[in-house]
Amino acid sequence: MKPINIGLLGLGTVGGGTVSVLTRNAEEIARRAGRGIQISHAAAKQYDADSIQGLEQIQHISDDAFSVVAEPDVDIVIELIGGYSPAKELVLKAIENGKHVVTANKALIALHGEEIFAAAQAKGVTVAFEAAVAGGIPIIKAVREGLAANRIEWIAGIINGTGNYILTEMRDKGRDFDDVLKEAQALGYAEADPTFDVEGIDAAHKLTILGSIAFGMPLQFDKTYTEGIGAIEQQDVLYAGELGYRIKHMGITRIKENGVEQRVHPTLIPERRLIANVDGVMNAVLVKSDAVGPTLYYGAGAGSEPTASAVVADVVDVVRALTTDPENRVPHLAFQPDALSDISILPMEEVETAYYLRLQAVDRPGVLADVTRILGDAGISIEAILQKESNDNNATVPVILLTQRVQEKFMNQAIEKIEANENIQDSVVRIRVETMS
């Protein structure tokens, strides 16, 4: 049977890994796919030829990506350029030319997936994107296919390795955020501009995709609440540990009666939970569904060959389904296109969580009583208190409170009143708490 020809766009970290995996495991992949798979064309502006195993087997390499998507002999286009443009134009042109597409581009799918999937459906081709979320962890397939019998209740994940590495180093080695960030950049875990990682934008792209697949709703990145880890201080990591928690940068999506929570932010997780013990650059996704209960997916969330593993797996899936009626293929977003529900994303003020609060209070009698009264008036119950001692009169001391669950709008009102108290210095530090149960 004639081999399937791949047109590969991008020969960077993941592109190079894809070449290596496809060539090294060619025989095994062909046995699984039912026919040979080869990269016949590739395009890249620049690449390190010496570092890519199997590059010599590619027949045509140029710097013109549009010529690859127009090549009649190419059956499947793999887009590994990243970003919004020209990736979007290339993917849409490939679809227009009747080619299937595999991509690792989470930003592209999160923002333009609706348009891309509609174009693919109209042409009867597939767009596969397993590698767009959590690197080598097959979480898209697990939620879309493995859990198809279940009603998903919530998904919570550590889905950005850079942020997880920073928080792990802060906890294990007592280092400050800025110091660890510089090291993460030197090690290649973080980009020169780390905004997407540390501000949660990268995780929000991935969470948008997971939420859509879990709950059968359109992609809504613009409504995903996003908060970074730049304000986390070493003392917060320390106090969280004293209380039996670890701070993780979590993406959480949960279906409620009145809508869907979709949020990325620093979160205190009980240290006994498995996901609280996912360290370094590793990723993990915890899925709670009605029939099977909680399932945890753990592994490398980035890197050359881990991500290439998901890319090549998508290619194999596409090849297996080439002779399938397009109407009978697995839907892009798990649910049939005409069965998607326009579920609203809840504003953050309507979300209910518990809270960690750190106040810098003047060390004098009655101050803590004022704070607890403000919280009580707002209907907020206190779970635990840590108050550090001071030997100086009128010195300020940190006071740490753990609250029970309350809607964010009520916590916002209480924090505003606490900060207005003359005995409270600086802003109140607030980190949300989830038990993952």
Using CA atoms, how far apart are residues 220 and 386, in angstroms rounded to an integer? 39
pLDDT of residue 391: 61
CATH homologous superfamily of domain 350-433?
ACT domain (3.30.70.260)
pLDDT of residue 324 exceeding 80: no
* DSSP H helices in 199-303: 201-215, 234-242
What is the pLDDT confidence band of residue 130, given thresholds at 50, 70 and 90? very high
Q: What is the pLDDT of residues 42-74, one digit of tens each?
A: 999 999 999 999 999 999 999 999 999 999 999
Q: What is the pLDDT of residues 401-430, one digit of tens each?
A: 999 999 999 999 999 999 999 999 999 999
pLDDT of residue 342: 83
- How many CB atoms within 10 Å of residue 186? 9
pLDDT of residue 394 exceeding 70: no
Residue 184, judged by CB atoms within 10 A of its CB (0-12, 13-18, 19+), counts as buried
What is the pLDDT confidence band of residue 326, given thresholds at 50, 70 and 90? confident
Q: Which residues, 6 or more positions from 277, have their beta carbon under 8 angstroms from its beta carbon?
A: 246, 271
Q: Which structure tokens are listed for 397?
A: 């001391």
What is the pLDDT confidence band of residue 336, given thresholds at 50, 70 and 90? confident
Closest to 417 measured CA to CA, from 365, 378, 364, 360 = 378
pLDDT of residue 392 exceeding 80: no
The packing angle between helices 26-33 and 304-320, to 10°, is 30
Residue 319, judged by CB atoms within 10 A of its CB (0-12, 13-18, 19+), counts as buried
pLDDT of residue 393: 60
Residue 333, judged by CB atoms within 10 A of its CB (0-12, 13-18, 19+), counts as buried
Residue 166, judged by CB atoms within 10 A of its CB (0-12, 13-18, 19+), counts as buried
Q: For 8, phi and psi rounded to 5 degrees?
A: -100, 125
Q: Which structure tokens are listed for 64?
A: 């013109």
Q: What is the pLDDT of residues 166-189, one digit of tens each?
A: 999 999 999 999 999 999 999 888
Model's pTM, two decimal places? Answer: 0.94
Using CA atoms, how far apart are residues 408 and 431, in angstroms rounded to an integer? 11
Contact 38, 6 (CB under 8 A): yes
User: In the chain, where are the structural domains located?
Assistant: 4-136+304-339, 139-300, 350-433
pLDDT of residue 333: 80
How many DSSP H helices and E strands does the chain contain? 14, 17
Q: Which residues, 6 or more positions from 53, have their beta carbon under 8 angstroms from its beta carbon?
A: 19, 20, 23, 24
pLDDT of residue 406: 98
Closest to 107 measured CA to CA, from 268, 219, 262 = 219
Using CA atoms, how far apart are residues 99 and 86, in angstroms rounded to an integer? 17
Closest to 105 measured CA to CA, from 86, 90, 87 = 87
Average pLDDT over residues 115-122: 97
Determine the distance from the C-alpha atom of residue 411 to the mean position of all C-alpha atoms in its chain, rounded to a whole number. Answer: 26
Average pLDDT over residues 92-110: 98
Q: How far apart are the two ends of the chain, measured CA to CA in Å? A: 50
What is the pLDDT confidence band of residue 337, given thresholds at 50, 70 and 90? confident
Q: What is the pLDDT of residues 264-313, one digit of tens each?
A: 999 999 999 999 999 999 999 999 999 999 999 999 999 999 999 999 99
Using CA atoms, how far apart are residues 68 and 422, in angstroms rounded to an integer? 66
Per the annotation, the verdict on 388 as an active-site residue is: no
Give me the torsion for CA of 121, 127, 133, 138, rounded to 10°: 110
Contact 75, 4 (CB under 8 A): yes
CATH topology of domain 4-136+304-339: Rossmann fold (3.40.50)
pLDDT of residue 252 exceeding 90: yes
pLDDT of residue 191: 86
Q: Which SS3 state, helix, strand or coil, does residue 387 take?
A: strand
Q: What is the pLDDT of residues 202-231, one digit of tens each?
A: 999 999 999 999 999 999 999 999 999 999
Task: Please identify which of the residues 88, 99, 206, 248 carries the catalytic annotation.
Answer: 206
In 84-228, DSSP assigns E strands to 100-103, 127-128, 152-158, 225-226
Q: Which structure tokens are listed for 170?
A: 């802060």
The packing angle between helices 13-24 and 304-320, to 10°, is 60
Q: What is the pLDDT of residues 343-380, one digit of tens each?
A: 899 999 999 999 999 999 998 889 999 999 999 999 99
Residue-averaged pLDDT of the chain: 95
Contact 156, 290 (CB under 8 A): no
Contact 205, 226 (CB under 8 A): no
In this chain, the answer to whether the domains covering 4-136+304-339 and 350-433 adopt an identical fold is: no
Using CA atoms, how far apart are residues 34 and 342, in angstroms rounded to an integer? 39
CATH homologous superfamily of domain 139-300?
Dihydrodipicolinate Reductase; domain 2 (3.30.360.10)
